[in-house]
Structure 1
Amino acid sequence: MALLKKWRDMAYSETANKGDLQRLWTEYFGKEKDIYAELLKNPDEEVKGTVKELADKYGVDIMTMTGFLDGIDESLKVANDIENMEEDTVVSLGFDKELLYKNMVAAEADWLYNLPEWNEIFDEDKRKELYKEQKNSRTVHNAPKIYPNDPCPCGSGKKYKKCHGKNA
Structure 2
Amino acid sequence: MTLFEQWRELIENQTEDTFREFWEEYSEAEKKIYGSILDDPGKKVTGKLGELSQSYQVRPVIFMGFLDGVNSSLKKENDFENFDEDSQVEIEIDPEKLFYNMLAADADHLYSLPQWLSILGEEKIKEITKAYKKSKTVVKGKKTGRNDPCPCGSGRKYKHCCGRNA
Q: 2:120 aligns to what? A: 122
The separation in 2 between residues aligned to 1:159 and 1:128, in whole angstroms, is 47
Aligned to 1:6: 6
Partner of 2:148: 151
2:38 & 2:129 partners in 1: Cα distance?
17
With over 3 angstroms needed to count, the CA separation of the structure-2 counterparts of 1:150 and 1:40, relative to structure 1, is farther
Equivalent residue, structure 1, for 2:19: 21
Q: Amino acid of the residue matched to residue 12 of structure 1?
A: E
Q: Give, as a single letter, the amino acid of the residue that structure 1 aligns with 2:23.
A: W
Output the CA distance in 1 between the equivalents of 2:12 and 2:144.
44
Instruction: Report the Cα offset of residue 130 of structure 1.
Output: 0.4
TM-score (norm 1): 0.86
Cα displacement (A) at 1:165: 7.6
Letter in structure 2 aligned against 1:33: K
Q: Are the aligned partners of 2:150 and 2:161 in contact in 1 as well (CA < 8 Å)?
A: no
Unpaired runs of 5+ in structure 1? none
Q: In 2, are the aligned partners of 1:150 and 1:159 still within 8 Å (CA)?
A: yes
2:95 and 2:120 in contact (8 A); partners too: no
Alignment RMSD = 2.3
SS in 1 for 2:100: helix
Give deviations 1:63-84, integer Å, cap 9, x for gaps: 1101100110010111111111
Name the aligned partner's letter for residue 78 of structure 1: K
**Residue type of the alignment partner of 2:73:** S
**Contact kept in structure 2, 1:43 and 1:97, CA below 8 Å:** yes
Seen in structure 2, the aligned counterparts of structure 1 residues 164 and 18 have a Cα distance that, compared at 3 Å, is: closer
TM superposition shift of 1:160: 3.2
Alpha-carbon distance in structure 2 between the residues aligned to 1:4 and 1:31: 17
Contact 1:152–1:164 (8 Å) recurs in 2 = no
Distance of 1:98 and 1:153 partners within structure 2:
46
Q: 1:68 aligns to what?
A: 66
Unpaired runs of 5+ residues, structure 2, are none
Q: Structure 1 pair 163/114, CA: closer, same or farther in 2 (3 Å)?
A: same
